[in-house]
Homo-oligomer: A and B are copies of this chain.
């Protein structure tokens, strides 16, 4: 019975399915709110809050309060590395669970990621905006390009009115494995998509379903 760093304590934190889902969700690098994590983990808000408290006490998470939101994020790259290592073992050891359900397919195409759009559509959009030099990215950073203000003003989005959060942020897409656009700009674009009724949100799901004309309009504005 030897003593060392309390590995069981840390592992048991990750060992609960709800907490594991939360940590997995946070592996993208973007901080998420308690509600978002509750949804992600498939548990009620009180349960999620309890889990988050434990993860905080265990030192695996950091939290930043912004207004009435609390943004939870991984405590650091070391924690992320640990989760990667566990994931590697799980993948090597466990049989692959293949079940691409119908809702799952829709989720891959487009879904809500807290307050912005994620999925193939969102990744394609960011790619296109960068290609057109409207946005400029180097590594994880995304900044507004020179033509950004006029470009977004033309479609009714003011990129300067919401100073609190970063305007642009990269958010790693779990289905595509590449970044999409977060931040207030990402949120504003999602707002527009829903306001214009180009798409609707699936009930009780993060999936976002584009109508046929809506998809065409979206592509004309953001993918042309």
A5 touches B98 (CB 8 A): no
A interface residue count range (under 10 / 10 to 19 / 20 to 34 / 35 or more): 35 or more
Cβ of A93: which chain B residues have Cβ within 8 Å of it? 10, 58-60, 75
- The answer to whether A20 and B24 touch (CB under 8 A), given A59-B94, A81-B172, is no
Q: Would you list which residues of chain A between 29 and 81 have a CB under 8 Å from chain B?
A: 39-42, 58-60, 75, 78-79, 81
Contact of A10 among B4, B25, B86 (CB under 8 A): B86
Q: Would you list which residues of chain A between 61 and 111 have a CB under 8 Å from chain B?
A: 75, 78-79, 81-94, 97-99
The listed residue with most B CB atoms (<10 A of its CB), out of A17, A40, A93, A204, is A93
B82 touches A78 (CB 8 A): no
- The answer to whether A11 and B98 touch (CB under 8 A), given A1-B21, A2-B25, A81-B172, is no
B13 touches A15 (CB 8 A): yes
Q: Give Cα distance in the complex from A20 to B11, angstroms.
A: 9
Q: Is A196 an interface residue (CB 8 A)?
A: no
The listed residue with most B CB atoms (<10 A of its CB), out of A9, A15, A39, is A15
A88 touches B83 (CB 8 A): no
Q: Is A152 an interface residue (CB 8 A)?
A: no
B78 touches A6 (CB 8 A): no
Q: Which single residue of chain B is at the shortest CB-CB distance from A39? A: B1
Q: Give Cα distance in the complex from A57 to B41, angstroms.
A: 25
